[in-house]
Structure 1
Amino acid sequence: MPADFQSTPFRTNADRSRNFEVGVLPYLDAAYNLARWLARDDMDAQDVVQEAMLRAFRYFDSFHGTDARVWLLAIVRNTFYSLRAKTSPVGMHESFDDDVHTVADEQPSPEARMMLATDVGSLQKALEKLPHPLREVIILRELEECSYKEIASITGQKIGTVMSRLARARERLKTELTQQPSEARRHDVQ
C-alpha cells in the first residue's frame, strides 16, 4: 500500500478523493481481473467494476482497515453477485453441491499438469467451465495471489471452506485439462 495512504477521517472532499486515489485506485486492475472472470464478459466486467468503484468511493469513509486491495475485491465480488441476482432469471443460476464436488484421487497437482501440456487458451476454457464458487477462489489465489485468509475475508467464507473449494477447483481444472482431444495430445507430445 502506498506510504501516504491514510484511513483516517477526512477534513475536506479533496483529502477524501486524494486518499481514495492513493489507497484504492492502484488495485483497479485486480478489480477488473476478478470481475472479468466472474462475469465471463468484458462489458459486464466493466459494468461491475464501475459500480464497485462507485460503491467503494461512496463508503470509503467506513474503511478503517489496512488492506484496501482485499476491501475492494470484496466489494467487486459482492457487486457482481448483487447485479447478477437482479438480472439473472432464476433458472440461470449454476448449482453447486459441496458433497458432489469432492477431490477423488491423489495424482500430481493441476499446476504440474498445466506446466506439462497446456497453453493459455485451454486454461482459459477450463476456467470458464468452473462453477462460480470454484472459479472465484482459484482466480483470487492463483491470479491475484491472495492468501487463504484474504480469500476468506473477500468471500465471507471460512478458511476451511476456501481451502476445500480451492482443492476442488484444482481437481476440476486437472480433469478439464487432461481430457483434451486426442489430436491436441498428439501435438503436445511431439
Structure 2
Amino acid sequence: MKRFEELFAPHMDAAYNLARWLTGDESAAQDVVQASAFRAFRFVHRFVDGNPKAWFLTIVRHESYGWLKAAGGGRWVALGDEIAEDDLALSHAQTPELLAMHAEDARLIQQALQALAPAFREVIVLKELEDMSYKDIARVVDIPLGTVMSRLARARAMLRLELLKLHAHD
C-alpha cells in the first residue's frame, strides 16, 4: 500500500485530467481513475523502474478507451463548459474584462480540441497539459518517439487551424 501511495498518489490529478479529456464525462473519468488505481495497486509489483506517472497514465488511457468502447464509442468531447469559481477569483491584474477574454479563449480552445481526432488530442493533452516528455508520451500512447514528435507537430498545426476557423466565425 505504501509503495502504491508513493508511486501513484501524486499523479491522481493527471490521471483524472487525461480520463476527463478522453471520456468527456466527469463521472466516467472518476470511474476510470478508480478502476485504474485499483489495477495499478493490484499490479504495483510489476512496476520495476521508470516513470510512475507514465506507467499509471498508460493504465488510465487503456481504461478510458475501454469505457468508450463499452459506452458505444464516438463520445469524444472535451471538458465541460463550466469554469470553477476558484479559477475566476479576481486578483489585482484580473479585471472582469480580462476574465471574460480568458473564459472565451478557454472555450475556443476546448472547441478546437474537440474537433481533433483522439490520437491527436491525447498527445496535446499529455504534452501541453500534463507537461510529459516525448519519451513518456511514447510509453503512454505506445508509439515510437518519432511518431510522438510528428503527431504532436500535426496536432498543434490542426489545433491552430481549428482556432483560426473558430475565430473567423466569431
Per the normalisation by structure 2, the TM-score is: 0.78
Q: Which residues of structure 2 form unaligned runs of 5+?
A: 77-103
The 3-state SS of whatever aligns with 1:119 is helix
CA distance in structure 2 between the aligned counterparts of 1:61 and 1:147, rounded to whole angstroms = 24
Q: Who is 1:68 aligned against?
A: 52
Q: Who is 1:121 aligned against?
A: 107
**Residues 172-187 of structure 1 correspond to what in structure 2 (within 5 A)?**
172-180=158-166, 182=168, 184=170
Higher helix share: 2
Partner of residue 131 from structure 1, selected from 111, 117, 120: 117
Amino acid at match of 1:33: N
Deviation of 1:68 (Å): 0.9
Displaced runs of 4 or more, over 4 A: none
Q: Who is 2:132 aligned against?
A: 146
Gap change, CA 1:71 and 1:181, over 3 Å in 2: closer
Partner of residue 52 from structure 1, selected from 29, 36, 44: 36
Kept after mapping to 2: 8 A contact 1:40/1:128: no
Amino acid at match of 1:52: S
Per the normalisation by structure 1, the TM-score is: 0.70
Q: Who is 1:82 aligned against?
A: 66
Q: Which residues of structure 1 form unaligned runs of 5+?
A: 1-16, 95-117, 185-190
What number of residue pairs does the alignment pair up?
A: 143
The 3-state SS of whatever aligns with 2:34 is helix
Kept after mapping to 2: 8 A contact 1:127/1:173: yes
Structure of higher CA gyration radius:
1
- Provide the identity percentage: 44
Q: Who is 2:91 aligned against?
A: none
Gap change, CA 1:163 and 1:181, over 3 Å in 2: closer
